[in-house]
Amino acid sequence: EAKNGGRNQVRFFDPDLQKVLESRAAMEADLRRALDAGQLQLHYQPQCDVERRVIGVEALIRWLHPERGLIPPLEFIPIAEESSLILDIGCWVLNTACRQLAEWQKQPSMRHLQVAINVSAHQFNTHDFIKSVQTAISAHGVDATALKLELTETVIVNDVEAVKAKMLVLKAFGVKLSLDDFGTGYSSLAYLKQLPLDQLKIDRSFVRDIATDPSDEVMVKAIIDMANNFHLQVIAEGVETGEQLNFLKLHGCEAFQGYLFGRPVPASDLNFMVEGG
Ligand code: C2E
Ligand code: MG
Ligand code: MG
Ligand code: MG
C-alpha cells in the first residue's frame, strides 16, 4: 500500500479521527464557556483521623453541565490538560478553594480544617505558579498552613532541583505538600528523600484489594513504612470498608479518605456533616 505513493496521503483524512478531533475541540470550547459561565463547582470530601474526626477535606472539581448534569473530572480534566485551559481552571480552583477556606476559618467548628487541592503538573511548572498561590492566599486572607497542594509524580520527572526550589518557597509560605496517587507513577525513592513533602497519599487502586490481593497488601505496607521512615504523614484514599480501614490502621496509617467516611459534597453539605457529626 505504501507503494501507492502520493495518493496514500488522502488516507490521512480519516472521518472517524476527524470526528474525534472535532468533538474534542467542541468539548474544549464548551469547557471554556463553562468556566466563564460559572458551571464549574468544587465538592469537598472529608479526610479523617483514627478517631474518625474530620481533619481536612480534598477539593474535587465537577462540571454542572446544563444538559448532561454533573460531569466528573476524569471526563474533562484530561481535555483541559491539552491546552492552556488547565491553567485557567487551576487558577479558578485555587481561588475558589481559598475563598471557601477563608469562610471556614471564620467558623469555630470548621477552622481546624485543612483544604487540599489538586494541582496539575502543567500548572505547577508555570513560572508564575508561586505568585498565583501567594496572591490567592493574601487575596482571601487565609492561614496558609491550612492549604495543602496535592501534586502527582509527573511533576517531579523533569528537573528535580527546580521542583525542589519551588516547593521550598511554598513551604516557606506555610503551605503543605502532598504526593497524590503514590505508587502509580515512576518517581524514585531518591526524589522522595530530597523533596520537602509533608504527606504521601496511597492510591485508591492499592487500597481497593488490600484484603484480597497479597501484592497490594505488600505494597501498602511498604508505602506506610517508607512514609514513617521519612517522617511523612500517610493518607489512604478510597477507603470503602471497615476491613480496609482495620488493615490500614494495623499497619500504621493514621489518615483516611473514602466513601466509608463520606463522599465529595458541596461545601454547604459539609458544614452540616462536620457540625452534626
Ligand atoms: P484524586 O485526586 O486521586 O481524587 C480522588 C478520587 O477518588 C476522587 O474522584 C474521589 O471522588 C474518588 N474517591 C474518593 N474516595 C473514594 C472511594 O471510597 N471509592 C471510590 N470509588 N472513589 C473514591 P474524582 O472526584 O472523580 O476525581 C478524579 C481525579 O480528577 C482526581 O483524582 C484528580 O486527579 C482529578 N481532579 C479532581 N479535581 C481536580 C482539580 O480541581 N484539578 C485537577 N487538576 N485535577 C482534579
Ligand atoms: Mg487528589
Ligand atoms: Mg489521589
Ligand atoms: Mg487517585
User: How much is the CA Rg of the chain, to the nearest whole Å?
Assistant: 21
- In ligand 1, the atom with minimum distance to the C-alpha of 257 is 15
How many angstroms separate the CA atoms of 119 and 89, rounded? Answer: 10
ipTM of the prediction greater than 0.95, yes or no? yes
Ligand 1 atom nearest to 203, measured from its CA: 3
Provide the β-strand partners of residue 41: 62
Task: Using the predicted structure, report yes or no on whether residue 70 has a pLDDT greater than 80.
Answer: yes
Sign of the CA dihedral with 235 first, then 128, 60, and 141 last: positive
Cross-strand pairs, 69: 65
For position 191, what pLDDT does the model report?
80
**Number of Cα atoms under 13 Å in the Cβ half of residue 75:** 13
Q: Judge if the beta carbon of residue 237 lies within 6 A of ligand 1.
A: yes
Per-residue pLDDT for 231 more than 90? yes
The reported pLDDT for the residue numbered 7 is: 52
What is the grid cell recorded at 4? 501507492
State if residue 72 touches ligand 1 by the CB under 6 angstroms criterion: yes
Look at residue 77 and tell me whether its pLDDT is greater than 60.
yes
180 Cβ inside 6 Å of ligand 1:
yes
Cell numbers given for 104: 471556614
Which pLDDT score, from 0 to 100, does residue 248 have?
97
Question: ∠209-215-220 over CA atoms, to 5°?
Answer: 70
Could you tell me the distance, in angstroms and rounded to a whole number, from the CA of residue 275 to the centre of ligand 3? 26
To which residue does cell 514513617 refer?
Answer: 228
The upper half-sphere exposure of residue 221, i.e. CA atoms within 13 Å in the direction of its Cβ, equals 11
Mean pLDDT for the chain overall: 91
- Which pLDDT score is estimated for 224? 94
pLDDT tens digits, one per residue of 106-156: 999 999 999 999 999 999 999 999 999 999 999 999 999 999 999 998 887
Q: Sort 14 into a burial class: Cβ within 10 Å, 0-12 / 13-18 / 19+.
A: exposed
Choose one of 42, 60, 91 to mutate for the ligand 1 pocket test, by most ligand atoms within 8 angstroms of C-beta: 60
Cβ neighbours of residue 186 closer than 8 Å, sequence gap 6 or more: 153, 157
Residue 77: strand, helix, or coil:
helix
pLDDT recorded at residue 183 = 82
Q: What is the DSSP letter of 81?
A: T
What is the model's pLDDT at position 159? 85
pLDDT in tens, 173-216: 999 999 999 888 766 677 888 899 999 999 999 999 998 899 98
Sequence-ordered list of residues with C-beta below 8 angstroms from that of 128, at least 6 positions apart, any chain: none
pLDDT of residue 239: 98
What does the pLDDT read at residue 184? 83
Ligand (nearest to CA of 184): 4
What is the pLDDT at residue 12? 64
DSSP line for 91-135:
HHHHHHHHHHHHHHHTSTTTTT-EEEEE--HHHHHSTTHHHHHHH
